[in-house]
Structure 1
Amino acid sequence: MSFINKKHSGFSLLEVLISLFIMVIGLLGMAQLQLISLQTGHGAYQRSQAAILAVELAERMRGNSDGVVGGSYRADSWDDWLSTPCAVDSDCSSAEDIAANDLFHWRSHVIAGLPGAIGSIHLVNGINVVRLQWTEQVLQDRSSSNSDDANNDGAELHEYSLPVIP
């Protein structure tokens, strides 16, 4: 009895191709997880910067309670804080000058620490509220909990508010 020896050629190559395909899918998934992680970390950094900046102004306001009571810390526009009346911090003598100087320095810190952000201070029910707004880039396929905040370009508007009682 003679046996015919048949070779199974190409079967190993098919196993290797399937293994490579599975490995590539896994690597793409890991790359996407890394991207989401980086973006989430940057978003957390921006939120913590907003909190730090709001607390900074709150402390400045608590240090100048006469300026807060007099309404010197409120302005209609972010652009109202473009200049300071004091050449040096020690030149500020009145509560209004100190408030203008504080707002000028705070504005420059916000611009440096949270690019693209705008700040405002409003009186709500007798309490001054420091508010920061900024735009954060998000992944296109990430759904927003508030559809009004989601733009077509993948940006979400974020806001941080801090009530300040002098």
Structure 2
Amino acid sequence: MPVKRNGFSLIEVMVSLVILTVGLIGIFNLHIVAKRGSFESFQQTQASYYANDIINRMRLNASELVAYGSATGTKYTGTSLTAPSKSCTGATLCTPGELQLWDVYEWQASFIGESEKESGSNVGGLPSVESCIFVKPQEVVVVITWKGVRKSSGFEEGYSDEVKGCGNKTNKKRIFEVKTAIF
């Protein structure tokens, strides 16, 4: 009589390991995709904050509205960032013109990450950021563009002409646009 053997054979163990490995690779790739999506979402939230920040500053200083932008768009990149001669913080009294210069300075410093540095380089803010402010008779448009993590297709489709004129044309371009009225 043949002896009946109980337990797993080596082939069954190898097949189980292959199935387990394929599953773990899938979970690892899902984790990477989720991390990228989370980071892109974080950048979008930052851009929303920066756009709303300058809009609120413009609302508080509406008499200098045209100095913040122009009908054809004023571009801000923060590359030649210099502090205004007068700091408009705390109890300091500033004219509306001085306040406008200070607002633009602080806004640019925040979106390029000036306050967060590591080894002399800015690590906060958005990467390769460019912002444009369009001040038109009945509307203010704030566009913020930056370089995203992954490539996308049709990155400017469906957006306004203001968006198409702001930022570099690249397949990693990310866009945040706000249109509002300030009186």
TM-score over 0.5 for the pair: yes
Corresponding residue pairs, total = 151
Instruction: Confirm or deny that 1:158 pairs with 2:156.
Output: no
Instruction: Confirm or deny that 1:102 pairs with 2:99.
Output: no
Distance 1:83 1:118, change over 3 A: same
**Secondary structure of the corresponding residue to residue 134 of structure 2:** strand
Distance 1:147 1:119, change over 3 A: closer
Query: Among 20, 24, 40, which residue is 2:17 paired with?
Result: 20
Distance 1:155 1:65, change over 3 A: same
Aligned 8 A contact 2:127 2:147 in 1: no
**One-letter code aligned to 1:157:** K
Aligned 8 A contact 1:86 1:101 in 2: no
Between structures 1 and 2, the one with greater helix share: 1
Instruction: Confirm or deny that 1:123 pairs with 2:143.
Output: no
Runs of 4+ in structure 1 deviating by more than 6 angstroms, as ranges, are none
Aligned partners of 2:136, 2:96: CA distance in 1, in Å?
A: 21
Aligned 8 A contact 2:87 2:102 in 1: no
Alignment match, 1:114:
126
Query: Among 31, 34, 40, which residue is 1:34 paired with?
Result: 31
TM-score scaled by length of structure 2? 0.71
Q: Which consecutive unaligned segments of at least 5 residues does structure 1 have? A: none
Alignment match, 2:76:
78
Superposed CA offset, 1:91-148 (max 9, x none): 563322211110111001001122321111013563121110011112x7xxx45167
Larger Rg belongs to: 1
Question: What percentage of aligned pairs have identical amino acids?
Answer: 24
TM-score scaled by length of structure 1? 0.78
